[in-house]
Amino acid sequence: MKTVIVLSLLLMYLSLAALAQGTAELKPPKGSQLAIVVFEDLQCPSCRLTSPIVEEAAKTYKIPLVRYDFPLPMHNWSYDAAVIARYFEKQSKQLGDDFRVYIFQHQTEIFPTNLRSFADKFAAEHKSSLPFVIDPKGELAAAVNADRDLGKRVGINHTPTVYLVSAKAGNPVREVSQPKDQLFQMIDAMRRE
């Protein structure tokens, strides 16, 4: 019985240590003391609801919003949308962010068969172009896969997952489990520390 308890405690400790080690990879961009980090899936209804909250917090506090793609396997067009977002992001970070917002705004209208038409419409509205083959070398898909792999190392198991990350020592990464209710207060608390 003691052996089972000791093994259980050891496994729990190792799991927490692995999670802490994984989140250590999350840092604010250079020159920033604090950032909002979000792992999101462009087809996730909860991500659609959380997106304006994290954007507003980033603008209000003038802190970076770092987005990571974490397309979930059960969503049938989110991976492709993330690749397209990366295409626009290569043109400018703002254009990529604007595309993500646009997709969230139209999320309930999008299906695998019409995602491309939404992307083409966005490109035209933003005086951009979208090539017939968006990712011929697979570089954009590799970036999406790298985000997903980071999310797995961090221990992401749902979207959205929102963190506040600080450049200060101590407790530099905190998950915001209820962004609508907690994000602004947690930013205030981390800024005071």
* Phi–psi pair at 69, nearest 5 degrees: -80, 130
- The chain-wide mean pLDDT, for the chain, equals 89
pLDDT band at residue 192 under the 50/70/90 scheme: confident
Q: pLDDT of 115-168, one tens digit each?
A: 999 999 999 999 999 999 999 999 999 999 999 999 999 999 999 999 999 988
pLDDT at 10 over 70: no
Is domain 27-192 in CATH 3.40.50.300, yes or no? Answer: no
Residue 40 pairs in a beta bridge with 69
What is the reported pLDDT for 24? 74
The predicted model scores a pTM of: 0.85
Residue 5: pLDDT band with limits 50, 70, 90: very low
E strand or H helix at 67, and its extent?
strand 65-69
The pLDDT of residue 146 is: 97
Residue 6 — pLDDT band, cuts 50, 70, 90? Answer: very low
- Sorted by where each begins, the domain ranges of the chain are 27-192
Which residues contact residue 63 at a Cβ distance below 8 angstroms, ignoring those fewer than 6 apart? 28, 32, 34, 35, 36, 57, 187
